[in-house]
Amino acid sequence: MRIVRRDILGAAAATCVVAVAACKPQTTWNEQDVSGALPPLQFSMTDAVTGEPVTEADFRGRIVLLYFGYTYCPDFCPTTLTNLSNVLQRLGAGADQVRVLFVTVDPNRDTLTQLKSYGALFAPQVVGLRGTPDELAALARRYRVAYSVTPPHGDVPYTVTHSSIVYVFDQDGDARLLVDSMDTAKPDVAGTAKDLRTLIADYRPPGLFERIMRMV
């Protein structure tokens, strides 16, 4: 009888666990949820702030907002970075847990010094990244980012085009959200800030076993 009772209690406990999991509310995001649809953050470039090579591993434990642009950009880039600065301001002390990686698509003109000064105009969390043409192409291809640089010829001026999407990665480097309103006249600053606060609140640092497995 005791064995039967344990089986019954075990089944009841399992049923409760399933019920609780089923009743757990799902997160409602303001921005586009891309969890599982894009690969984790991965890159190798030079940090304009420190002048040192960096990879995605240097930003583990922080939320990363990835944006492609260039310092000579007359409109989209300054608008996007200004709005992202407003998002960071809404986070208060939580802004320290976020980094905005500004990847130049025009490395021929954007020096590390220019990138460092440009990022500082908007927020201390903005980090300029400069890569070789191959490093830039690899990162853009990984996230399906379109860009082009056309040198001046004849009456045609130096022309640069690039995507205006902001990619959001969580503290583990996983792609979570796409933000497409930061370059517009009506950016969803409040909604984006709310989503970032949710990612900050939900984060649980990996345990020892998880950290070891990442090193294997």
- Whether residue 137 is predicted with pLDDT greater than 50 in this model: the reply is yes
pLDDT of amino acid 170: 98
CA–chain centroid gap for 186, Å, is 21
Q: Which helix (H) or strand (E) holds 131?
A: none
Residue 110 lies in a domain: yes
CA distances from 124 to 56, 71, 101, 194 (A): 19, 16, 11, 20
Tell me, yes or no, whether 20 lies in a domain. no
Q: Is residue 84 part of a domain?
A: yes
Which neighbouring-strand residues pair with 126?
A: 100
Q: Do the domain assignments include residue 46?
A: yes
Count how many domains the chain has.
1
pLDDT band at 11 (very low <50, low <70, confident <90, very high): very low
Q: Which element (helix H / strand E) includes 121? A: none
Q: How far is CA 22 from each of CA 10, 13, 25, 107, 176, rounded to the nearest angstrom? A: 18, 14, 8, 49, 22
Domain assignment present for 143: yes
**Residue 209 lies inside a defined structural domain of this protein:** no
Percentage of the chain modeled with pLDDT above 70:
83
Residues 6+ apart with CB under 8 A from 207: none
CA dist 50 and 53 (Å) reads 9
CATH code (residue 159): 3.40.30.10
Chain segment 49-86, per-residue pLDDT in tens: 999 999 999 999 999 999 999 999 999 999 999 999 99
Compute the average pLDDT of residues 183-187. Answer: 94
Task: Tell me the whole-structure pTM to 2 decimals.
Answer: 0.84
Predicted pLDDT at 26: 77
**Percent of the chain clearing pLDDT 90 (strictly above):** 78
Range of the domain at 82: 29-204
With bands split at pLDDT 50, 70 and 90, how would you rate the model's confidence at 154? confident
Residue predicted with more confidence, 23 or 118:
118
Q: What is the pLDDT of residues 19-52, one digit of tens each?
A: 444 455 678 999 999 999 999 999 999 999 999 9
